[in-house]
Structure 1
Amino acid sequence: MFKDSLRARLLLPVLALGLAAVIATAAALAFIEANRVRTEAQASIDSQTTGLKSLFGVTHSIMLERVHSAMRLLRQEGEEQGAPSPGQPISVGSREANDLVLGGKPQGNSFQLVDNVTSIMGGTATLFSTTGDDFVRVSTNVKKDNGMRAIGTVLDPHGPVIGEIRQGRSFYGVVDILGSPYVTGYEPIYDHANPKPIGIWYVGYKTDLEPLDKVISNSHVLESGFVALLDSKGTLRFHSKTGATVDPAVMTKIVQEQPSDWTVQKSDVPDWGFTLVAAYPNSDINSVIVRQTLWIALLGLLICLLLLGLQYVLIQSRVLQPIQRLTEVADALSMGKLNNIIEEVKLKDEIGTLAKAIARLSNSVRLAMERLSKR
């Protein structure tokens, strides 16, 4: 049987060693491949995050410069009208608020000043009036969703601006206004009789994030990962629209729950209050590793089979065929056939040594037979 043959004894150890080498190589390369895929995924995340932050930074810098210019114009035109002072209670929108007076001219429900500024500088402008603990928009061209001026609405009591104004400090930065991000400037308005602000000068520009939206929409990580942008309230604003994961509800759930089978990385966007999120399922890396390992294993197995085939040819031609011929000579010798030509005596290996021994045996038998025949 094959398993008991010399061929099997010679080939099976080679096959075992080859398979062991393939398995060891596949395992080592799989480990290296896993590290490579993770490194490339992290490099992709870092590259996309850095690029997006750079775009945000440039956008913020350009728009903030416009905000400072618009604020200078608003204050200049307001101060030209005269000194500010608190006015009588008036009805603005759906609520009562104190009027704001500039040089004796009431500003509540009057939009000439704010519209003049924005006609020159663009953007939006507002005059807030202090009413109790609130700052109420009494003159503005900020629009609500229905297209109406947002008079009567109040400055966010929980936002970053109100604390600065109450401390008598100006605020410049990104603020959510009625659900949209604005790059803004707020400066307190004082009169000579009150140590606390009687109102606020405001200018701001609604951010045009369409270019950023396009960049994020075309971004993703590995096959099923995504890139997303959350605003200061944790609301998903922009997200990947390529790759396997594009459902905003799924993305929001992953960001909030951060499941163990996902890698989720968050980074803050300076000056914006936004958060960039990059996430990918660990199965993406595992699938790449499995594919690469299978290719490596198949290639290794092919090489192993080629080496085994080469080994088989060498064993057959250099070992088994000479042994077979020597076996035939030995059989012939046992049957009294003494005139055999043994080519293997020319070999300089163990088979050649065996062939020489058989040749000497054949010669000895022949001589013995000749002596017996002469008696």
Structure 2
Amino acid sequence: MLRHSLRVRLLLPVLALALATVIATAIGLAVVQAHQVKADADASIKGQSVALQSLFSVTRSIMLERVHNSMRLLRQETDALGLPSSGPEVTVSGRQANELLFGNKPQANTFQVVDSVTSIMDGTATLFSASGDDFVRVSTNVKKDDGSRAIGTQLDPHGPAIAEIRKGLAFYGVVDILGNPYVTGYEPIYDGRNPKPIGIWYVGYKTDLESLDSVIGDSHVLDSGFVALFDSKGKLRFHSKTGATTDPAQIEKVSQEQPLDWSVDKQEVPGWGFTLVSAYPKSDINRIITRQTLWIGGLGLLVCLLLLGLQSVLIWNRVLQPVQRLTAVADQLSLGKWDNTIEEVKLKDEIGTLARAIARLSNSVRLAMERLSKR
């Protein structure tokens, strides 16, 4: 029977040891690989985040310098007209607001000052007039979606700029204007009599984020992860357009709900009010680990089979074949044939010891048979 074969009995321990080694190695490498894959994913997120944060920082720094220069020009233009003051109510695009005067020259519904500033410095400029607790655009070249000037619209009452203005402070930073991010500057206008601002000087530049859209669009994490950018109002601005997760609705859902089967990293973008989100499903790591574990296991089994083949050849040449020859000699000896050549007597191992014992036995039988034949 095969199970009683000496070769099988010799190879089974080797096979068991090899399989145990392969399994233990695969499990050990899977654990190490799990940590490595997660570390690589986290490093990828960190690297992409650092690059994007740096891009934001440089963009903001450059644009703020332009904003400060434009603000100086706007104030020079209005200072040249005379001192500021508040006038009677006027209608601005269907809304009532106080007239804003510089040197008794009304600015509501006129655009010479704001347009002269932007003709030199580009960007946008606005003169706000106080209307109760609100500030209304009475002169501006900020455009609405339909292309018309955004006069009659008010400064966001919940935004960061108005909070600083109400404190009597200037504000420089990124704000959302009519649904678009602008790098802006706001400075309060006083008439010298009223402790509250009668208006606001504004200049700003709409952020050109096409390069950012390209960078984020080409970014993803592992197979199914994504990178996304949300503005201060939680609106999804840019997101990955490569990888398995590109649907905006799914990206928004994962970013907001942060499900347990996803790893989600959120970072605030200083000075912008944006939120940078990087996320990937944990199943991506499990899939990579499974794939690599199977590859390692397959390679281990191949090595195991090669070792078994080599071991089988060695067992046959070094053990089984000599044992078979000695068995044949012993069988011949039992039949009275003692003139067999036993080459295994030259071996220095246990088989050589057995071969020499059989040779002595064969010689003893031969001598005994010779003595018996002489009687």
Which of the five TM-score ranges fits, normalised by the shorter chain? over 0.9
The residue type equivalent to 1:9 in the other structure is R
**C-alpha displacement at 1:37, in angstroms?**
1.3
Instruction: State the match for 1:293 in structure 2.
Output: 293
**C-alpha displacement at 1:360, in angstroms?**
1.0
Separation of aligned partners in 2, 1:107 and 1:338? 131
TM-score by length of 1: 0.99
Separation of aligned partners in 2, 1:145 and 1:53? 29
Is 1:346–2:346 an aligned residue pair? Answer: yes
Following superposition of structure 1 onto structure 2, how do residues 182-197 of structure 1 map, counting pairs within 5 Å? 182-197=182-197
Is 1:90–2:103 an aligned residue pair? Answer: no
Partner SS state of residue 184, structure 2: strand
Partner SS state of residue 284, structure 1: helix
Partner SS state of residue 208, structure 1: coil
Partner SS state of residue 114, structure 1: helix
Partner SS state of residue 119, structure 1: helix
After the TM superposition, which segments of 4 or more aligned residues of structure 1 sit over 4 Å from their partners?
Answer: none
**C-alpha displacement at 1:41, in angstroms?**
1.1
Separation of aligned partners in 2, 1:286 and 1:81? 70
The residue type equivalent to 1:45 in the other structure is I
The residue type equivalent to 1:148 in the other structure is S
Following superposition of structure 1 onto structure 2, how do residues 106-145 of structure 1 map, counting pairs within 5 Å? 106-145=106-145
**C-alpha displacement at 1:284, in angstroms?**
1.2
Which whole-Å deviations, capped at 9, do the CAs of 1:243-300 have from their partners, x for residues lacking one? 1111111100110111111111011111111111111111111111111111111111
Partner SS state of residue 268, structure 1: strand
Which whole-Å deviations, capped at 9, do the CAs of 1:174-206 have from their partners, x for residues lacking one? 000000000000000001210110100000011
Partner SS state of residue 136, structure 1: strand
Aligned-pair Cα RMSD in Å: 0.8
Partner SS state of residue 163, structure 2: helix
Instruction: State the match for 1:266 in structure 2.
Output: 266
Following superposition of structure 1 onto structure 2, how do residues 246-261 of structure 1 map, counting pairs within 5 Å? 246-261=246-261
The residue type equivalent to 2:228 in the other structure is A
Greater Cα shift, 359-368 or 227-236: 359-368
Which whole-Å deviations, capped at 9, do the CAs of 1:18-45 have from their partners, x for residues lacking one? 0000001111111121122111111111
Q: Which runs of 5+ in 1 are unaligned?
A: none
Is 1:178–2:188 an aligned residue pair? Answer: no
Instruction: State the match for 1:48 in structure 2.
Output: 48
Following superposition of structure 1 onto structure 2, how do residues 1-375 of structure 1 map, counting pairs within 5 Å? 1-375=1-375
TM-score by length of 2: 0.99
**C-alpha displacement at 1:150, in angstroms?**
0.8
Partner SS state of residue 154, structure 1: coil
Partner SS state of residue 276, structure 1: strand
Separation of aligned partners in 2, 1:255 and 1:56? 21
Greater Cα shift, 322-331 or 1-10: 1-10
**C-alpha displacement at 1:94, in angstroms?**
2.4
Partner SS state of residue 203, structure 1: strand
Separation of aligned partners in 2, 1:29 and 1:114? 67
Separation of aligned partners in 2, 1:328 and 1:71? 109
The residue type equivalent to 2:330 in the other structure is A
Partner SS state of residue 55, structure 1: helix
The residue type equivalent to 2:343 in the other structure is E
Separation of aligned partners in 1, 2:259 and 2:3? 53
**C-alpha displacement at 1:164, in angstroms?**
0.5
The residue type equivalent to 2:187 in the other structure is E
**C-alpha displacement at 1:163, in angstroms?**
1.1
Separation of aligned partners in 1, 2:221 and 2:30? 21
Separation of aligned partners in 2, 1:354 and 1:50? 75
The residue type equivalent to 1:56 in the other structure is F
The residue type equivalent to 1:174 in the other structure is V
Partner SS state of residue 244, structure 1: coil
Separation of aligned partners in 2, 1:56 and 1:149? 29
The residue type equivalent to 2:143 in the other structure is K
**C-alpha displacement at 1:137, in angstroms?**
0.7
Partner SS state of residue 188, structure 1: strand
Partner SS state of residue 255, structure 1: helix
**C-alpha displacement at 1:242, in angstroms?**
0.8
Partner SS state of residue 67, structure 2: helix
Partner SS state of residue 246, structure 2: coil
Q: Which runs of 5+ in 2 are unaligned?
A: none
